[in-house]
Amino acid sequence: MVQLNIRADSITAEVTRVERKADSTLTQVSSLSIEVGQISTRVSNIDSRLGTAESSIVQQVGQISSKVSQTDYNGNTIASLINQTSTTIRIQASKINLVGAVRVLSDLSGDMGTIYAGNIEGGTINIGTDATVGNNLYLGKYGGGSKSVVFGSGSVIQYNGSYKELSSLNVRLNGSSNEMNGQNTIYGSLSVPQTTSVSGLARANSSGIGISYSNGNLFVQVNGSTVGSVKLT
């Protein structure tokens, strides 16, 4: 069935086909509407047993909107929408698949959403809360130059090509077993509290063997008690 209506301010055209089966009725409708400032098209497929599928495009002076929806026989609707204006394109759907190379020339931001991708490359990536890395974090893909991890307080973990430096007002190694292998050089002072157990070192005023100096004499202690001294000349 074909319907055509022509008025002073609008033109509408519609084509309808109804197909009746033993257990359902299928109605297909395609329509075109032309009004002042707006053109719209719609294609629908209504199945009394399965539900409704519909697509539409509405073109106005300032925007173009398209919609594809599907409604099952229980009334549940799934829809995807695209709205385009002179400044903004908005895509809303349960799934958006971008196939091929996607290049972003300005800011990419999300509101508590998730971006899934095999690789993401960018000049600068700003992360407002947390970053979770599954395996390895590489700094300096192409090698050379200084690489660093800078914390908000000004503390830095830096590698300059020869040395890896921990730079902070205070640095604490708080593991149950910390090892320093190879040749280790300490610039400045080394303070070991009396309550700390020391193995393999001689320390003054501690259990085991200790040494101390006073008034030109070098004293030797065993288990905290002085057992002898040597006059230094």
Provide the pLDDT for residue 142.
Answer: 66
Do 39 and 59 touch, CB atoms closer than 8 A? yes
Per-residue pLDDT of the chain (233 residues; tens, 9 = 90+): 889 999 989 999 999 999 888 778 889 999 999 999 999 999 999 887 778 999 999 999 999 999 999 998 888 899 999 999 999 999 999 988 888 887 877 776 666 667 777 777 777 777 778 888 888 888 776 666 788 888 877 789 988 878 888 888 888 888 888 888 888 888 887 777 766 776 666 555 555 677 888 899 888 888 778 889 999 87
Provide the pLDDT for residue 50.
Answer: 78
d(CA 46, CA 230): 106
Provide the pLDDT for residue 57.
Answer: 97
Alpha helices in the chain (DSSP H): none
Provide the pLDDT for residue 160.
Answer: 82
Helix (H, G, I), strand (E, B) or coil at 120: coil
d(CA 51, CA 138): 52
Provide the pLDDT for residue 225.
Answer: 82
Helix (DSSP H) and strand (DSSP E) numbers for the chain: 0, 14
d(CA 232, CA 230): 6
